[in-house]
Amino acid sequence: MSAERAMVLLAGKVHPRVRERVEAEFDAVSIEAADAGLLSDETRNRVRGMASGTRISADFIDSLPNLEVIANFGVGYDAVDAAHAATRKVMVTNTPDVLSDEVADTTVGLLLNALRELPKAEAYLRAGRWASEGAYPLTSLTLRGRTVGIFGLGRIGLAIARRLEAFGLPIHYHTRTKRSDVDYTWHEKLIDMATAVDTLIVIVPGGAATENAVNADVLAALGPQGVLISVGRGTTIDEPALISALANRTIAAAGLDVFAHEPNVPQALLDLPNACLLPHVASASVSTRNGMADLVVDNLKEWLAGRPAITPVPECAGFDRGSS
C-alpha cells in the first residue's frame, strides 16, 4: 500500500461505489464488523478515516487512536456514537439533501398506495380477477379532503410537505421548535397534532429521543379514518401498538417503509390487509444511492485533506479544521 495515502477503514457492508472509490483514492482496509480485534495494532494506529456501514460504538472509536473522520452512508446516523466521536474531535458526516427528493417521492407513493390499495388492485388484475369477477372494489379511503401532519420537518419532511401542499392538502407539523420559514400549522406536542389531523407522516431520526414516540395514545388520537406513514426509522413506531390499532380499526391503514428490527417484520403486521409494506426502499434508486456514496467519499477526501467536511452532523458542526 502507498505510504503517501491516508488509510481509510471500510467497516461493515458498504455501498459498492464507496468501496470502489475508497480503494482507488486511499489505502483501504475492510472488516465485516466494527470489532477492533479484527485489526492489527499497526492498522488501528494507521486508520485516519472510516466509511461506516454498521454500528460504530464508542469503544470502537476509542480503539483507533488516529481516527479523524467517520463518513456515514445515509441521513440517519443513529448507528454511530456521534456524541462520543465529538468528544474525541472525530468528525462525523452523513448524506443529507442528495436523497431528499427520492424519499419524498416514495413517501407520496406509499401514501397513495395505502389509501387507494394500488398494489392490491394490480395483484387483482394480474390474477385474472378483473376479467372473471368484474371491477376491483371501490376503496373506502382517498387522499381527497385529508389533513396531513408531518412529524419532523427537516429537509425530507419539508420536501414531503411541498409535494402534498401541491395536492391541495392542509399541512401541520410537529418539531421541537417552530420554524420561522413556513406557514404550516405547528404543534408543540405530537399527540395534539395527531388529534388535529387524519394523516400522520413520520420522518424523524431514530434514537432514544424518538423511540416509540408514535404509541397507542397517538394512534388513538389519529382516529378511525387515520392513516400512518412511516419513512424515517422503524424504532419511532410502537409496532405492537400499531398492529393492535390496525387490527382493531383504531386507525384505517398504514404504509411503512421502515421497521423496528429490519429485515425482520412481525408476521402479525404482514397478515394485516390494511398495511402497505415496503422493504426500506425510499432512497433505493441507482442514481440516488450513487449520489449518497459519492458524498460519503467526498466528505472523507475533504476532511483528510485538511478542509472542512461537506455535511457534518450537528454534534460535529462546530469543529475547526486545521491542515493535515
- Set of cell numbers at residue 99: 436523497
Which residue, among 254, 237, 166, has the nearest Cα to 203 in the 3D structure? 237
Going residue by residue through the chain, which has 324 residues, state the pLDDT in tens, using 9 for 90 and above: 344 699 999 999 999 999 999 999 999 999 999 999 999 999 999 999 999 999 999 999 999 999 999 999 999 999 999 999 999 999 999 999 999 999 999 999 999 999 999 999 999 999 999 999 999 999 999 999 999 999 999 999 999 999 999 999 999 999 999 999 999 999 999 999 999 999 999 999 999 999 999 999 999 999 999 999 999 999 999 999 999 999 999 999 999 999 999 999 999 999 999 999 999 999 999 999 999 999 999 999 999 999 999 999 999 988 866 433
Contact present, 18 and 70 (Cβ < 8 Å): no
Contact present, 107 and 85 (Cβ < 8 Å): no
Cell 382516529: give the residue: 223
Q: What are the DSSP calls for 97-165, one per residue?
A: STTHHHHHHHHHHHHHHHHH-HHHHHHHHHTTHHHHH-SPPPPS--STT--EEEE--SHHHHHHHHHHH
Return the active site residues.
233, 262, 280
Q: In what order do the strands lie in the sheet with 27-31?
A: 27-31, 7-12, 47-53, 69-72, 91-93
| Whole-number pLDDT of residue 317 | 87
Report which secondary-structure segment, H or E, holds 303. helix 286-304
